[in-house]
């Protein structure tokens, strides 16, 4: 159901499988027959875990019991007994402009001195992460000929099978073109590795190594942190929240609104400069 009807991504399906199998193991292999009391005990087992982990596990089980009820495989839905951890939403980790500049300074230095194919690949990867806000999975699985030098956008299929239009900057297109010239003509992927494409784990390692070379603590940087920086810096520059939602591929704008944690001074300046009722010459009553 999750694959065919909800269009869930492979990583989502794997996460659901792990959570359901773990819960079933805790309940002696009788998850489908569990009642409210059993789920309450399961919630107690989860108490030492982080709230975000508990929320994810509970969400997987709610979808599972909802499916069983909808398919009439059981007459009740005991998932109300599952915990609903509250708390404030965690703000995304981001890099400031100076730190992003430091990353690109390292790349520019490498590209200026007889760059290797690996240098060109890393440049293309980082330009697309920070310049277009791609998810790691979307990036590593790009088909070889999806991005073209004369086309300032790409149409991607992201989470849930949803298509979206992603802007590709002039810098990113130039970086991709320079790197793509090193690929075999019959390459199926833009970032091939062995018989498949570059893995998300390897992308993670490459980005952290670049951070270390730029003098930034590697644990602060990941592909997703660069996606967060893309979103936050666009919003700081005055980007429309709906446009940002579309570029990031968020199904719900509430997910995009987390990026409104920008500097309050910047928000005040934006209102004072852009609000249609602002008129410096109008007398105040």
Dig out the tokens for 29 from the structure.
Answer: 């292999």
Which of 226, 224, 202 minimizes the C-alpha distance to 214? 226
Provide the Cα torsion 190, 197, 218, 55; round to 10°. Answer: 120
Per-residue confidence (pLDDT) for residue 261, from 0 to 100: 56
The total of other beta-carbon atoms located within 10 Å of residue 153's CB is 13
Cα–Cα distances in Å, from 114 out to 110, 119, 177, 198? Answer: 8, 9, 17, 23
How far is the C-alpha of 202 from the C-alpha of 207, rounded, in Å? Answer: 9
The total of other beta-carbon atoms located within 10 Å of residue 83's CB is 17
Per-residue confidence (pLDDT) for residue 157, from 0 to 100: 75
Please, which residues have CB within 8 angstroms of residue 73's CB and are 6 or more apart in sequence? 32, 67
Q: Which residues of 171-208 are buried (b: 16+ CB within 10 A; e: fewer)?
A: ebbebbebbbeebeeeeebbbbeeeebbebeebeebbb
Per-residue confidence (pLDDT) for residue 107, from 0 to 100: 96
Per-residue confidence (pLDDT) for residue 164, from 0 to 100: 81
Per-residue confidence (pLDDT) for residue 263, from 0 to 100: 47
Delineate the domains of the chain, giving CATH numbers in brackets.
Answer: 10-81 (1.10.150.130), 97-268 (1.10.443.10)
> Active-site positions?
135, 159, 224, 227, 250, 259
Per-residue confidence (pLDDT) for residue 20, from 0 to 100: 95
Dig out the tokens for 211 from the structure.
Answer: 């951070």
Question: For the whole model, what pTM was predicted?
Answer: 0.64
How far is the C-alpha of 9 from the C-alpha of 203, rounded, in Å? Answer: 19
Cα–Cα distances in Å, from 116 out to 40, 139, 186, 245? Answer: 57, 20, 20, 36
Are 85 and 51 within 8 A, CB to CB? yes
Are 226 and 107 within 8 A, CB to CB? no
Per-residue confidence (pLDDT) for residue 285, from 0 to 100: 46
Which residue in this structure is represented by tokens 């819960």? 23
Q: How confident is the prediction along the chain (285 residues), in pLDDT tens digits per residue?
A: 888 776 777 888 899 999 999 999 999 999 999 999 999 999 999 988 888 889 889 999 999 999 998 888 999 999 999 988 865 555 567 788 899 999 999 999 999 988 999 999 999 999 999 988 888 888 999 999 888 878 888 888 766 667 788 888 889 999 999 999 999 988 999 999 988 999 999 999 999 999 999 999 999 999 989 988 888 888 777 777 777 777 777 766 666 666 665 444 555 565 676 666 655 555 444
How far is the C-alpha of 63 from the C-alpha of 57, rounded, in Å? Answer: 10
């Amino acid at each position: 159901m999750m694959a065919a009807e909800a269009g869930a991504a492979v990583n989502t399906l794997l996460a659901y499988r792990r959570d359901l199998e773990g819960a079933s193991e805790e309940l002696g292999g009788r998850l489908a027959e569990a009642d409210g009391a059993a789920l309450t005990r399961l919630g107690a087992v989860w108490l030492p875990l982080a709230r975000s982990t508990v929320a994810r596990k509970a969400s997987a089980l709610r979808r599972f019991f909802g499916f069983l009820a909808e398919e009439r495989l059981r007459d009740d839905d005991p998932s109300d007994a599952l915990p609903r951890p509250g708390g404030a939403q965690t703000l995304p980790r981001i890099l400031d402009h100076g730190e992003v500049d430091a990353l690109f300074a390292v790349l520019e230095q490498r590209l200026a001195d007889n760059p290797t194919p690996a240098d060109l690949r890393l440049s293309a990867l980082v330009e697309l992460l920070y310049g277009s806000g791609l998810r790691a999975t979307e990036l590593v699985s790009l088909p070889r000929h999806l991005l073209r030098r004369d086309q300032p956008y790409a149409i991607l299929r992201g989470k849930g099978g949803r298509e979206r239009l992603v802007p590709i900057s002039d810098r990113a297109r130039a970086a991709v073109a320079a790197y793509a010239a090193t690929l075999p003509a019959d390459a199926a992927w833009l970032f091939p590795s062995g018989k498949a494409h570059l893995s998300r784990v390897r992308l993670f390692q490459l980005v952290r190594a670049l951070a270390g070379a730029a003098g930034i603590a590697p644990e602060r940087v990941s592909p997703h942190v660069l996606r967060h920086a893309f979103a936050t810096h666009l919003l700081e520059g005055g980007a429309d929240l709906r446009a940002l939602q579309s570029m990031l591929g968020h199904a719900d704008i509430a997910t995009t609104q987390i990026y409104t944690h920008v500097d309050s001074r910047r928000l005040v300046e934006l209102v004072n400069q852009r609000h249609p009722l602002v008129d410096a010459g109008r007398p105040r009553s």
